[in-house]
Every structure is written in structure tokens, then in C-alpha cells.
Amino acid sequence: MIPELGHLALIIALCLAVAQSFFGLGGAQRANLIWMNAVRPAAIGQSFFVMLAFGSLAYAFLTNDFSVAYVAANSNIALPWAYKFTAVWGAHEGSLLLWVFVLAIWTVAVARFSRHLPQDFSSRVLGVLGIISIGFLLFMLTTSDPFGRLLPPAAQGADLNPILQDPGMAIHPPMLYMGYVGMSVAFAFAVAALLSGRMDVMWARWSRPWTLVAWLFLTCGITFGSWWSYYVLGWGGFWFWDPVENASFMPWLVATALVHSLAVTEKRGAFKSWTALLAIAAFSLSLLGTFLVRSGILISVHAFASDPRRGIFILAMLGVFVGAALILYAWRAPTFSQRGGGFKIFSRETFLLLNNVFLVVAAAAVLLGTLYPLVLGALKIGQISVGPPYFDHIFVPLMLPFFVLIGIGPYVRWKHGSATETLSKLRIPAALALVAGVVAIVLLRAEVSFIATAGVLLAAWTIFSALQEPLQRLWQRLHHRHVSLARSVLGMSVAHLGAGLMILGVTVNTMLGITVDRVMKPGSSVAVHGYQFAFQGVQDVSGPNYQAVQGTFVVTRAGKKVALIYPEKRQFRHDGTTTTNAAIAAGPFRDLYVALGNPLGQDSWSVRIEYKPLVRFIWLGGLTMMLGGFIAILDKRYRRVRVPATVDMSAPPKDADADLAKAPER
């Protein structure tokens, strides 16, 4: 009964999505107030029914309704209830439902927080979101219905993929989807601006907080994904340049470029067309990511072939959305006034432009490396793969100059800056970064390499440059001078600080991390970087739905006990799948990582032991970037209640210059 209700809810949601996009786009086009007034109710109704469908599937999982094929394939009676809930998005159909569920959340948010926008504009935004909903709802209903029945019902269900039975499953996919789908809001704003001819400063101001929120979630999703794969997959790495990872990294790179380009459009009225193009690109890459991960072409050609409709449908949807948006862009963008603020070569605008060039080139390089092998494979020309060395070769030379610029940009004025002024402001961070570089060379000695030194130097440079301004303001305030720091500026500083911390973590961990694979017997011990790892033996333990072999390791340093850790090898009962659950003794400055390898007979095991310095800084950096985005959203100017509809939208707002006057350093 409940699954049928869910299916029905999806159909009703599809009808309401049609109404939402028809009234939204048609109403705005014909300036029909009655139609436009119907958009919000339709959008909210559509979202309600999608959420109802999601609730029905979750209910089917929690009540072990194994007559639903999807539940039978991805759940089991013995599965702990929390994982039954996360199993909702454990496979293809449910992830799509999660996608539209997240889109429903965004739609409600847009409907709720867009009342201050001109009605035709908000109607168009909701109309575009409605079209995206139609696409995905149709996709689900025609090719991937999660509510299909299984006759006869299964007795107890297969099981959720053991790797997914982890708390990370509750955070990583929803956060990532919030980011992916959030790009559709930035996209909808850009398309609405193109349609209404309002590609101007106000458009940038309206869409900036939405883009920031989406970026924030995407950052969160990727950071958690990296951390999750680090501890659950038993590989001990934080990033593998796996196509699935690249699928989320490409939208992130473009979204980061978009966040910066929006700043120029909002503050100076420049880069308008480029910003709109980036918004379209960010959404296209999110769709492409969904396509790569969900169509199954990455996991196996067979999954793709068994139901080619899926891959073809989503590819067609990608083509229609992106193609239509690009045609609209080609048609409308040249008609808009490009009269933005002009700027000199040494200006904030140029630095932000360079930021965009680097990020977009990086995204293009990842795209090439990800798609080329797939295209060759699909065309049956040959089978090749592009491994991490390719991405490393591209990223290192791209990121070196990028991180030089990231420290300078914030200290250059808009419009026309002065090189001497900027240099004098950057004396202290530059000096501190040099000191850090020298310290790194002295400390690392034997292991010193150009890349390691450059990485540490640039990380220090980024960190000190990002810290300088907030600390300066704090110092001044402590001395009772009235100074203020706009939240958006503070947010930027914090986000750049996060980028610096991340680069520091990546560099140090990659250059100085140690991995040792050894054969160990109970009683034997291995020394890694001053730590003694003593293997005490293994014992059998049993979990709710698995049997495990658990090893015990005592870690000591200079005779003192550091940690007692228990890596496991788990075997899941229902299909005998084995997973390696590494044990990690975490610390702020280093992780000690132990994973059981293979039993080699006579009680001996192959064991992987890793010393990972500063690995936590990578995720700390990600979290710091998120925090920066969050602070920036709290900026006062996004909380303005109502924009009078009569304001001349084509001119940069007066307070753009007022902001300049208020904060002379910006």
C-alpha cells in the first residue's frame, strides 16, 4: 500500500512540476499575474509530494518490506536500523529519489526566500527548477522506479553493500547532492537572468548567496567523501583521482570559479556573460557527474548495456538542458550591455580573472582525463586509462602559480591597484612564509625536494596572507579603534586559510608519509618513524551481520604506550564479502594507520602500517573553507528585505562604490 502511495506521489509531483514550469516560465513571459501567483503553490506542492515519495521508500526500508524489489536488493533483516535508512540511497533508483528529494528541498527554499525578488524573476527561477524536476521525475518513472514490486517477496533481502554500512553514508551522499543540486539553483538564476534580460549587478547579488550555499555543501560532501574513503576503504589514501571522485571535483572547481566571478559581477558589474556561462557550466558538470556515477558506465559496461535506456535518457537530458541553456546564452548574452566597470591590468579584477582561468583550466584537464578513456572505450577504439600520474603532472604546475596569486589578490584594490601598495601590505606574510620555507628545508634535510619546499612555502604564504587582515583588524579593535570587517571579507580570509591548510596537509602527507608492508607474526614488531608497532595476535569477533578477525597492535614510542588499536577483516554473512577495516590512531599532527592484509599461514599476516603526518590538515582545511563560505553568507547585504522594482537594474548599485570608500583596503 505505502509503496503504491509513493509511486502515486511521484506521478502527482510530475504533474505539479509541469504546472510549476508552465506557470513560471509562461506567466513571466506573458506578464500574467494569476499564472505567476500559481507558481509558488505548485512548487511547494511538487516538493511535498516528492518528500512524501521519499518518506514512503524510507518507510518500506524501515519496515522490511521485501516485496519492494529495491528494498529486497539493498536491505536485510539483520541490518541495523540506521543503515536501513541510509540504504534508501544505497543504489541507483534510491539515489535518484534522493536527487529529486534534495531538489525539492532547494525548491522550497527558493520559493520561501525569493519573495523580495521581482515576481517575474522569481517565477522564472522556479520555472527552470520545475523543468529540472520534470526531467528527473520522468527519468525515475520511466526507467528507474524505486517502488517496483517483487513477486514473490523475498524472505529477508540481500544486503546493503558492506562498504556502505558506515556512518559516512549518512553524511557524504546527502551533502554531495545538496551541492550538486544546489548548482541547479545557480543555473536557474542564470537562465532566468538571460530570459528576462536582467543580467546585471542585482542578479549577481541575488544568486551569490545561493551559489555560496551550494558551494559550501559541495565542499562538505567532497571533504567527507575523502575522509570516508580514507578510513573505510582500507587504502589509506585521501584522494585517488578515481572517475567517481573527479565527477564531484569538476563541478567544485567550476563552482569555486563561479563564486569568485560573481564577486566581480556584483561589485563591479563586469564579467557578466562569463559568470552566466560559469553557472551553466557548473550545473552541466553536476549533471555529467550524476550521469557518470549513476548510468553505470564507470562501474561496468554491463550495467549500462543491461538497461541502455537509463544511460541514454540521462545523456539526452544532459544534452537538452545544456544545449538549450547554451543556445539561450548564445542568443541573449550578446544583447546585454557589457558596460561594466573598466579596470587596469593591476587590479582585483585581473587577479580574479586569473583565478578563473586557473580553475577552469584545471577543470578542463580533469574532464579530459576522465572522459577520454571512456570515449575511446565506448567507441571501441582501444582501452587505455589515465592514472593519478597524469593528474599530478597537471595539478602541480597549475597550483604553484595559483597559490602565489591567492595570497596577493585580496590585497589588490578594485579597478586600479598599486603594485607598491600591495607589496608593502604583504611584507609580513612574505617574510613569514620565507621563514617557514627555510625551516622546512632545515627540518626535512635529506628528503628535501623542490616540490616539497615549494608546497610548504606556498601553504605558509597562503595561510599568513589570509590571517593578516583579520588579525590586524582584531588588533585594532582591541586598541579601541572602531573598525569593522565585512563578513564577506572575513569569510574569504577564512576560506583562503582553509585552502592553505589543505595544501600544507597534502604536501607534507604526500612527501613525508611512510608506508610499510610487512609480514608479521604474533609477538613481532615493526618500527616506523620512531613508533614501535607490536603485533599481539588476532581473535575472532562477531558483529550484527558479520564475522571478523580482529588484530591487536600496541603502539609505543620511546618505551611509552601511544595507542592500542584493532584493525579488522570483516566477512559479511549473507554473501561472504570481505572488507578491510583499518585501525587508525589519530592525532592532530599525525595519524598512525594499520590495516590487516592477508593471512599467510602459521599465524602470520601481511600488514600495512602507515605514518601519515598532517593528514588531518587536509580535512581540517576543507572544513575551514566551508566555515569561510558560511561566514560570507551571513554578510549584511544579503539580508536586505525588499528591492524596489523601479530601481534601474542595469547600472551598478551606488553602494558598490560606497563599499569601496568604506573599506579602503578592498
Partner 1 sequence: MTPVRRKRLIIVVVIVAGVAIAAALGLQAFRKNLLYYFTPVQVAAGDAHVGQRFRMGGLVAMGSVQRSPGSMTVHFTLTDMQKSVPVVYTGILPDLFREGQGIVVYGTLDKQGLFVAQQVLAKHDAKYMPPEVAAAIKKAKAAQQAQIAAKAAS
Of 405 and 432, nearer to partner 1 (C-beta) is 405
User: Considering only residues 148, 319, 342, 544, which one is a binding residue for partner 1 as defined by CB under 8 A?
Assistant: 342
Q: Which of 151, 155, 330, 345 lies at the binding interface for partner 1 (CB under 8 A)?
A: 345
Among residues 72, 37, 51, 41, which one has the least CA distance to residue 9?
A: 51
Within 10 angstroms of residue 579's Cβ, the number of other Cβ atoms is 19
Residues 6+ apart with CB under 8 A from 444: 452, 453, 511, 512
Q: 133: which 3 cell numbers?
A: 524536476
| Closest distance to partner 1 from the beta carbon of 311 (Å) | 14
**CA–CA separation, 225 and 219 (whole Å):** 10
257: which DSSP letter?
H
Instruction: Closer to partner 1 by CB, 584 or 614: give it.
Output: 584
By CB under 8 A, name the one of 94, 130, 209, 369 that touches partner 1: 369
Give the binding range for partner 1 (CB under 8 A) out of 44-52, 265-273, 345-353, 405-413.
345-353
CB of 360 to partner 1, least distance (A): 9
Task: Report the residue from 368, 378, 634, 645 that binds partner 1 according to the rule CB under 8 A.
Answer: 368
Is residue 604 within the footprint of partner 1 (CB under 8 A)? yes
State how far the alpha carbon of 487 is from the alpha carbons of 290, 409, 411, 536, in Å: 33, 18, 16, 53
> For residues 233, 236, 241 and 246, what is the CA-based torsion angle, rounded to 10 degrees?
50
Q: How far apart are the first and last CA of the chain?
A: 61
Q: Of 575, 645, 647, 655, which lies in the binding site for partner 1, with binding defined by CB under 8 A?
A: 575
| String of contacts with partner 1 for each residue 270-309, x by CB under 8 A | -----------------------------xxxx-------
Q: Which residues pair with 560 in a beta bridge?
A: 557
User: Binding to partner 1 by residue 577, rule CB under 8 A?
Assistant: yes
**Residue closer to partner 1 (CB basis): 54 or 358:** 358
What contacts 573, CB < 8 A, 6 or more positions away?
A: 78, 545, 546, 547
Per-residue binder mask for partner 1 (CB under 8 A), 232-251, x = binder: --x-----------------
> What nine digits make up the cell of 212?
555560496
**Least CB distance to partner 1 at residue 596 (A):** 9
Contact present, 457 and 437 (Cβ < 8 Å): yes
Q: Considering the rule CB under 8 A, would residue 382 count as an interface residue with partner 1? A: yes
**Whole-angstrom distance, CA of residue 538 vs CA of residue 599:** 10
In angstroms, what is the minimal distance from the CB of 388 to partner 1? 9
Provide CB contacts within 8 A for 309, sequence distance 6+.
142, 143
| Nearest approach, Cβ of residue 392 and partner 1 (Å) | 8
127 belongs to the binding site for partner 1 (CB under 8 A):
no
Binding mask 389-408 for partner 1 (x = CB under 8 A): xx--xx--xx----------
Binding range to partner 1, per CB under 8 A, among 451-459, 536-544, 603-611, 631-639: 603-611
For residue 654, the minimal CB distance to partner 1 (Å) is: 24
Q: Which of 379, 384, 442, 641 binds partner 1 (CB under 8 A)?
A: 384
Number of residues that bind partner 1 (CB under 8 A): 48
CA-CA distance, 424 to 310, in Å (whole number)? Answer: 58
Q: Which of 151, 445, 560, 602 binds partner 1 (CB under 8 A)?
A: 602
Is 566 a binding residue for partner 1 by CB under 8 A? The answer is no
Q: Which amino acid is at 165?
A: Q
Cβ-contact 39, 126 below 8 angstroms: yes
Phi then psi dihedrals of residue 634, to 5 deg: -75, 0
Q: What are phi and psi of 47, to 5 degrees?
A: -65, -40
Nearer to partner 1, 127 or 237 (CB): 237
Binding flag, residue 78, partner 1 (CB under 8 A): no
Answer yes or no: are the C-beta atoms of 347 and 412 closer than 8 Å.
yes
Cα distances from 315 to residues 295, 309, 320, 327, 330, in angstroms, run: 9, 10, 9, 18, 22
Interaction of residue 323 with partner 1, rule CB under 8 A: no
Which chain residues interact with partner 1 by CB under 8 A? 161, 234, 299-302, 342, 344-345, 350, 353, 357, 361, 365, 368-369, 372, 382-387, 389-390, 393-394, 397-398, 517-519, 569, 575-580, 595, 597-598, 600-602, 604, 606, 608
